[in-house]
Structure 1
Amino acid sequence: MFKDIIIKGARQHNLKGINVTIPRHKLVVITGLSGSGKSSLAFDTLYAEGQRRYVESLSAYARQFLDQMQKPDVEHIEGLSPAIAIEQRTAGSNPRSTVATTTEIYDYLRLLYAHVGKPHCPKCGVAIKGQSAEAICEKILTLPPNRKMMILAPYVTGRKGGQQDILDKLKRDGFVRARIDGEIFELDGKLPKLEKNIRHSIEAVVDRLVTGKTESSRLNDSVELALRCGAGIIIILLENPDDKKGKWTEEQISEQLACVKCGISFGQLAPRNFSFNSPYGACPTCNGLGTQLIFDPELVIPDPSRSIKQGAIPPWRRGPRRLMIYYNHLLRCIAAHFKIEDMVLMPFKDIPQNVRDVLLNGSGNDIIKFDYWRSGRMHKLDKPFEGILKNLQRRFIETESEDVRERLKKYMGRRCCPDCKGNRLRPEILAVKVGDLGIHKYNELTVTDADSFLDKLKLNAEEKTIAHEVIREIRSRLNFLKDVGLSYLTLNRESGTLSGGEAQRIRLATQIGSGLTGVLYILDEPSIGLHQKDNMKLLNTLEKLRDTGNTVIVVEHDLDTIRRADYVLDLGPGAGRHGGELVASGTPKEVEKTKTSITGKYLSGEKTVPLPSKRLKGDGKFLSIEGAEHNNLKKINVKIPLGTFCCITGVSGSGKSSLIDDTLRLALDRHFKIGTGIPGKHKKISGLENINKVIVIDQSPIGRTPRSNPATYTDAFGIIRDLYSKLPESKMRGYKSGRFSFNVKGGRCEECHGDGVKMIEMQFLPEVYVTCSSCKGRRFNRETLSVLFKGRSIADVLEMTVSDAAEFFSAIPKLHRKLKTLEEVGLGYIHLGQPATTLSGGEAQRVKLSAELARIPRGHTLYILDEPTTGLHIADVEKLLEVLMRLRDQGNTVLVVEHNLELIKTSDYIIDLGPEGGDKGGDLVAEGTPEQVAKNPKSFTGQFLSGILKK
């Protein structure tokens, strides 16, 4: 049994052949400056090799279904366990993924509600009971007369397989017909071949009748036979003479479940009925999404100050000429009906409200006289007007052109589904209750409240026996979420709305719930997005994971986490080619004493982030948000001083994102006409006239393909290409700037299409990327590479780090400024041509920040940043602060949502929300300078800040 993980000669990326010894079954922190090689050691070496060895131990058949890691550049590793990486990345944007589904809580909830849930009538709310055969017959006898009807008995419902045995049984039992996947077949005729891997439904046709012309004895015998064959469930198919497509109405009736008062019934409950991803449970209107794309009046009429003639209705201004003429004539007829002269010439907002309502929503049952020319004759038609919104909705549904559909989507917004009210499920399923809550209401609870509900839930003896294990599994997962500081999240929160840190902690909670031992866990900055108050809970969780027999390696910058570690590895001394060495290793106390360790100096208190010499009060103007009540916000009023560096703080879940991201940012997007999202509920926002521009710098990727890189995003590459195209050699050959692009034909290597590598698919091995044999990984053809500037080709430039490139192009001011700003935000170590897909969220955010900094300052811009210290060592935070202060000093407002106390303490103004997360948050707890907030006893941020300010 190995006591340590021993790594020899690690050279992955910028690692310089380092030898590292990591104690097993300990909590180990890898720290160091941004770009010093932490991720290269933790993820690209340790995790990659651990995962590769585990997968290679499997059979060749199993390996073909698994992604495999490439072998890292390392001489030798011993003592390695199977590795699990829990990275800092968002959870994707699938709207069907929620906190409950990600943690498997929803799977157990479906079991709980299917087996101990009590069905209620969705109309009258009374408990639903079964219907007898006699009651079913009575119901059939009340149906409209002289309609064809079929009585069906379900044998198979949504089950995979060929089902030949079922069809044979139906024949043996004397049935003549069956409905197979919605279509009636004669059993003696040609039957469809059912694919084994697809779900099928089969019902026997027990009888075919005509309502009002059937003897009661025959009807009673047929119903009893159908109930017997269908295990207590019967399906009634009734001819619908009003349906032009000949579709029959269908009703499923159960012996067990029916409302006597309303006559509503449904089949036996199963877990799939509670899944919004299954057709058996999902709301048919929105298909389980809870929202619908509908035409938004504010997008259809974006500028009401314009007249119709000036284009107040943009979607009615595009299309074939005859359609435009038709719409204009409709509008003239409506103007004539309401006796409004020159309606098309007046601003839309000045048209009377009742007429605007008719224009948008239609005239209802009111008749309007329309006349139009066709075939040289005037035709007259009296009919209601359908309305612009309904007209667009109809066109969107009926068109077969994807171009038309995409064009119309610009005028649509997501709205709550009108049928399920955003609850995703069918009404009869929403009416099933455990205790006094339906499954949708339970999912609206926070993690804390959900656990409390189950703790107080009263069940009878039989229900307890059924539900005991299920409830235990749900509560254990809820407790794990509480342990990692996520007690404020609601179970129905969409995964796509979670921050990278929240998504990572959910995956961490899921791993703890798995109960594995002997595993190597590698985490990437789990403290991201976590308030200092919740940090201790996270550290306790990591120690619990260690104490169950696992090795926990954490890439982290947080000083509290480093101090709690059993062992610390500090990489450096610099970033990029100046890093990749092991500067210090040992216990936190031993690292503190290492003179060459920058981290050690901050741990010991020898170095700190300095406080500003003065705090600015701004230009005297404010951006005011009144009555904000989105999500958990409690109708708060907030004033943001313009011309300052302002921090929005508060514990996790206190309402920071609801206020800034969901309310203020979306309102600003609409004000500046750069977005169409619906702002969170609020009374009003004033002071917008004091801002010229808003720039949101978030952590979304700067590009979705490897061809995007820092050089292309900041437009530095455009300047570099222009420079190379103006060289004497290029002019002589007639090369333009496009010649030096790897995205277009001409200068790039056509063998690899400018990628520099070629992918080879291997059936039992991971995909292998081999360097292109033609360009040797240089991405350009030989003629392009022969053009040199100061002895370097365009490919050499892309391989340079930002710092090297800044020095190399120091004589070209416009380019040097762009590269220097990249360096100033702590990105001197990344390569100019580094693929965007390899950048972390924090790095992507700082690339965007540098792009904004490089622009000519105009003042009165509002910059909104979400946790810009993500991925930054405390030494790099100082560099970032210099950049933010420079933006502020140019007359701009810098608004930052942040938890990092080192950055918060340097701000001019703090707005602290809370006091807790979820329902216990959403209030304005404190506001003012850091010193003022530190004196507020109600503020958790203030309590931790007071300790920092005293140092």
Structure 2
Amino acid sequence: MERADWITVEGARTHNLRDVSLRVPKRRLTVFTGVSGSGKSSLVFDTIAAEAQRLVNDTYPLFVRNRLPQHPQADVDRLDGLVFTTVVDQRRFTGNARSTVGTASDLAPLLRLVFSRAGRPSAGFTPAYSFNDPAGMCPRCEGLGVVDDIDVEALLDRSRSLREGAVRFPTFAPGTYRWKRLVHARLVDPDAPLSTLTDAELDTLLNAEGVRPTDPDPEYPRTSLFDGVLPRLRKGYLRRTPARLTDAEREALARVVARRPCPECGGTRLGERARASLIEGRSIADWSALPVTELRQVVAAVREPALAPLLAAIGQRLDALDAVGLGYLSLDRGSSTLSGGEAQRVKLVRHLGSALSDVAYVLDEPSAGLHPHDVHRLLDLLGRLRDAHNTVLVVEHHPAVIAAADHVVDLGPGAGSAGGTVRFEGTPAELRATDTPTGRLLRTPLRLGGAARAPRGSVRIEHVTAHNLHDVTVELPLGVLTAVTGVAGSGKSTLFARELPRRHPEFVVIDHAPPSGGVRSTPATVLGVAEAIRDTFGRATGLHPSWFSANARGGCQVCKGKGVIVTDLAFLDDVRTTCDACEGTRFNPTALAATVRGRSIADALAMNAAGAAALFADRADVVRRLGWLDRVGLGYLAIGQSLDTLSGGERQRLRLARHLGRYEETAEERRIVLDEPTAGLHGSDVDRLVALLRELVDDGATIVAIEHHQRLIAAADHVIDIGPGAGPDGGTVVFQGPPRALARAAGSTTGRHLRAALGDG
């Protein structure tokens, strides 16, 4: 019966795992814990899930297998009892402009079916209600909901005349061909400031098409027709993309081209017939624009007996979205704008109500981005998946998720080479009694930080009305650590990650967006130490530094310096296989043969921050910047690791390390906004990050952390709580003050949970 009841792992050695052996119970909720980098993902995702998916893929014909994602055989002695496995990870949805929450959650097809049956007047069959089908899309924006057009105010300097260069675009600069056409056409006075022109004259200058000038200068071509500035720019730059753009043109386009909601469809993406088809006074566009919580009520109120099963299915899916804390989203929101945690919960909703059983669902920190108030909803969904006779494996740090588990596996004791062993297997109650870092954290009550620092001034954000914010005005103290709290969707990021830096540009926002560079970028390149490392190898070996760049002469010729062969399968996931020629090192034989202190460039890039700092100890700039990598809690990463293998939280802390390393070399005051900096961090790692942030504040920095983690909130000097709810129920300042006062604040959901975590009821 062992295969029926257990997933058995023997001798797992993937990444930093050290011959790990364990049994994971089936049809149970098992949580894998441990400090960041301890080997949780290596065990759950790269060993158990990857091998299960590889074995399932092997059952397909070779023609099909070649078009599926490829997984190498896991480095493990034995795996037994595996079942069909679905990975629900935190990868963001692709940047497809046609993907929305409605399409990603599979709700959009159901809504189209409802309107094709009950909408009056009917627009036709379901394609007539789809913005991704020519039958239903808006012809002006082709179903995108937005159009690019010229911002006239950014384009023109009305204090100047045409002759003085009033049109601020390189192809209309004084002396250019287009400038001569404007000046010599004499449709307006070329020496008059634009501010003095009549509305009719300005309209001609901007919008004329195919006009023959009546009294042009002799320099104007006799047979040439005049086109205004805007038609010229639209034809030359918006309706087609020029094969080559100068840097000046690229910068000017970024300044003068504005993306606005489509004026024909109002941003709904849909054609006129679909917008005119109504159910009880609302169109499918109206339904899609409502927050999920409101749409649930609208759907429940529809009385169409023939559509009852369909409406029930929609209601169940909307209930599930609300249950995972996404009730503030609307179905027309672009899926690429969702955070990793939001994207994961949308994917999770797809699996609820599935008729399949005995499936393994593997989740990566599903509580990421959730306020403590919403975690119980997530636990209910995980319980529903388990109770449908499925196996649920969760990599997680949140104490409430750990406490809800049937079984817990704790890995450690440290990160990287200091981790990779199973420290505990058993129940959450048994884990609390252990002396592991996780056990100590679970049984130690939360404590408030010391005395709050006194601010040395403040900046003001006034009358903010963006998104769901209700005319918010707030004072942000300087020289302290401020935690910005509130339920997901309350308006925290809009106010402090968007509006604060827009109005006070000295604030730098560090969020989970990946640094530029993609698969070729590494921690070494992001930190700015790669060039120094190449120079060191060049001086030591006599070769040009370009030999030690995988993107230049040193790159493997087969994989072009990527280390993997990537096959693009269009609508399927890319197929990636390790390059056989370089064995994944990314370098050619000439580069690999050259060494510094017995280490090749590939060896150096495989080291963590401490190892690389020791190898390049004579380069103070390298040692200093690598030190920041360790201080932000990423000391376990290989400095040559591809960025696309990092989690969102790891990428954010890497960007923080880069930012701090650069500011260390200047005298500028640090003003930093961090969007959920504790994502992916074990409680002990959160304490380490908090200590770093407080140290930065002691050195004069202003730190704003948009955060749910109560350990960071308790350690802050000042808290700004946004709420009280999400979406239209949020958008106001509920509380401002120290954490101790927040814990006593009536009406603050954050305060209530902080008070409970402190053991005060």
Q: Same-fold call, TM > 0.5?
A: yes
Q: Secondary structure at the match of 2:672?
A: strand
Determine if the alignment matches structure 1 residue 534 to structure 2 residue 374.
yes
1:165 aligns with: none
Determine if the alignment matches structure 1 residue 644 to structure 2 residue 498.
no
Following superposition, the deviation at residue 493 of structure 1 comes to 1.5
Instruction: Provide the rounded CA distance (Å) in 1 between the counterparts of 2:477 and 2:160.
Output: 34
Determine if the alignment matches structure 1 residue 835 to structure 2 residue 642.
yes
Instruction: Provide the rounded CA distance (Å) in 1 between the counterparts of 2:568 and 2:488.
Output: 44
Determine if the alignment matches structure 1 residue 707 to structure 2 residue 525.
no
Instruction: Provide the rounded CA distance (Å) in 1 between the counterparts of 2:205 and 2:737.
Output: 48
Instruction: Provide the rounded CA distance (Å) in 2 between the counterparts of 1:44 and 1:335.
Output: 71
Determine if the alignment matches structure 1 residue 553 to structure 2 residue 393.
yes
Letter in 2 for 1:824: R
1:166 aligns with: none
Deviations along 1:690-719, one digit per CA (max 9) or x if unpaired, are x6x332212122345432111111111111
Q: Secondary structure at the match of 1:276?
A: coil
2:112 aligns with: 110
Letter in 2 for 1:435: E
Following superposition, the deviation at residue 10 of structure 1 comes to 0.6
Tell me if structure 1 keeps the 8 A contact 2:722–2:732: yes
- Which residues of 2 match residues 282-297 of structure 1 at below 5 A? 282-297=137-152
Tell me if structure 2 keeps the 8 A contact 1:869–1:900: yes
Tell me if structure 1 keeps the 8 A contact 2:500–2:507: no
Distance 1:393-1:700 versus aligned 2 partners, 3 A rule: same
Deviations along 1:636-676, one digit per CA (max 9) or x if unpaired, are 112222222222211111112332344334xx2xxxxxxxx
2:703 aligns with: 894
Tell me if structure 1 keeps the 8 A contact 2:149–2:238: no
Q: Secondary structure at the match of 2:479?
A: coil
Instruction: Provide the rounded CA distance (Å) in 1 between the counterparts of 2:333 and 2:94.
Output: 13
1:154 aligns with: none
Distance 1:655-1:808 versus aligned 2 partners, 3 A rule: same
Tell me if structure 1 keeps the 8 A contact 2:678–2:686: yes
Following superposition, the deviation at residue 436 of structure 1 comes to 1.6
1:935 aligns with: 744
2:14 aligns with: 12
Instruction: Provide the rounded CA distance (Å) in 1 between the counterparts of 2:735 and 2:507.
Output: 25
Normalising by structure 1, report the TM-score. 0.73
- Alignment identity in percent? 37
1:49 aligns with: 51
1:813 to 620, 640, 644: 620
Letter in 2 for 1:726: R
Determine if the alignment matches structure 1 residue 599 to structure 2 residue 438.
yes
Letter in 2 for 1:724: F
- Which residues of 2 match residues 509-658 of structure 1 at below 5 A? 509-595=349-435, 597-605=436-444, 611-622=448-459, 624-658=460-494
Deviations along 1:719-759, one digit per CA (max 9) or x if unpaired, are 111222233x42xxxx33223212112x4444554345667
Following superposition, the deviation at residue 62 of structure 1 comes to 4.0
Tell me if structure 2 keeps the 8 A contact 1:42–1:522: yes
Deviations along 1:208-250, one digit per CA (max 9) or x if unpaired, are xxxxxxxxxxxxxxxxxxxxxxxxxxxxxxxxxxxxxxxxxxx
Deviations along 1:807-865, one digit per CA (max 9) or x if unpaired, are 33344321111111001111111111111111111111111110111112433343222
Deviations along 1:744-775, one digit per CA (max 9) or x if unpaired, are 12x4444554345667999xxx96845544x5
- Which residues of 2 match residues 361-400 of structure 1 at below 5 A? 362=206, 371-374=216-219, 388-396=229-237
Tell me if structure 1 keeps the 8 A contact 2:450–2:715: no
Following superposition, the deviation at residue 877 of structure 1 comes to 1.0
Deviations along 1:372-407, one digit per CA (max 9) or x if unpaired, are 2348x9x799x9x96533442243367784335984
- Which residues of 2 match residues 168-247 of structure 1 at below 5 A? none
Distance 1:767-1:663 versus aligned 2 partners, 3 A rule: closer
Letter in 1 for 2:515: I
Determine if the alignment matches structure 1 residue 31 to structure 2 residue 46.
no
Instruction: Provide the rounded CA distance (Å) in 2 between the counterparts of 1:468 and 1:654.
Output: 33
Following superposition, the deviation at residue 7 of structure 1 comes to 0.6
Question: Structure 1 stretches of 5 or more lacking a match?
Answer: 120-256, 258-267, 669-684
Normalising by structure 2, report the TM-score. 0.91
Question: Structure 2 stretches of 5 or more lacking a match?
Answer: none
Letter in 1 for 2:341: G
2:321 to 456, 459, 481: 481
Distance 1:824-1:279 versus aligned 2 partners, 3 A rule: same
Instruction: Provide the rounded CA distance (Å) in 1 between the counterparts of 2:555 and 2:126.
Output: 56
Instruction: Provide the rounded CA distance (Å) in 2 between the counterparts of 1:798 and 1:617.
Output: 44
Instruction: Provide the rounded CA distance (Å) in 2 between the counterparts of 1:563 and 1:870.
Output: 19
Tell me if structure 2 keeps the 8 A contact 1:316–1:327: no
Tell me if structure 2 keeps the 8 A contact 1:118–1:432: yes
2:728 aligns with: 919
Tell me if structure 2 keeps the 8 A contact 1:369–1:380: no
1:743 aligns with: 551
Following superposition, the deviation at residue 318 of structure 1 comes to 6.1
Instruction: Provide the rounded CA distance (Å) in 2 between the counterparts of 1:500 and 1:27.
Output: 22
1:726 aligns with: 539
Distance 1:499-1:751 versus aligned 2 partners, 3 A rule: closer
Instruction: Provide the rounded CA distance (Å) in 1 between the counterparts of 2:297 and 2:480.
Output: 43
Tell me if structure 1 keeps the 8 A contact 2:371–2:708: yes
How many residues are treated as equivalent by the alignment? 747
1:695 to 490, 508, 511: 508
2:343 aligns with: 503
Q: Secondary structure at the match of 2:353?
A: helix
Instruction: Provide the rounded CA distance (Å) in 2 between the counterparts of 1:853 and 1:523.
Output: 32
Instruction: Provide the rounded CA distance (Å) in 2 between the counterparts of 1:567 and 1:39.
Output: 17
Q: Secondary structure at the match of 1:872?
A: coil
2:598 aligns with: 791
Deviations along 1:313-360, one digit per CA (max 9) or x if unpaired, are 442456895515415626986345xx74xx4xxxx8xx4596799279
Distance 1:71-1:781 versus aligned 2 partners, 3 A rule: closer
Q: Secondary structure at the match of 1:744?
A: coil
Which of the pair has more CA radius of gyration?
1
Following superposition, the deviation at residue 939 of structure 1 comes to 0.9
Letter in 1 for 2:109: D
Following superposition, the deviation at residue 88 of structure 1 comes to 1.0
RMSD between aligned residues:
3.2
Instruction: Provide the rounded CA distance (Å) in 2 between the counterparts of 1:841 and 1:298.
Output: 38
Tell me if structure 2 keeps the 8 A contact 1:518–1:551: yes
Tell me if structure 2 keeps the 8 A contact 1:361–1:388: yes
Deviations along 1:762-796, one digit per CA (max 9) or x if unpaired, are 9xxx96845544x5654444544444333322222
1:679 aligns with: none
Determine if the alignment matches structure 1 residue 851 to structure 2 residue 658.
yes
Letter in 1 for 2:552: V
Tell me if structure 2 keeps the 8 A contact 1:480–1:513: no
Q: Secondary structure at the match of 2:361?
A: strand
2:684 to 860, 875, 886: 875
Distance 1:305-1:884 versus aligned 2 partners, 3 A rule: farther
Letter in 1 for 2:532: I
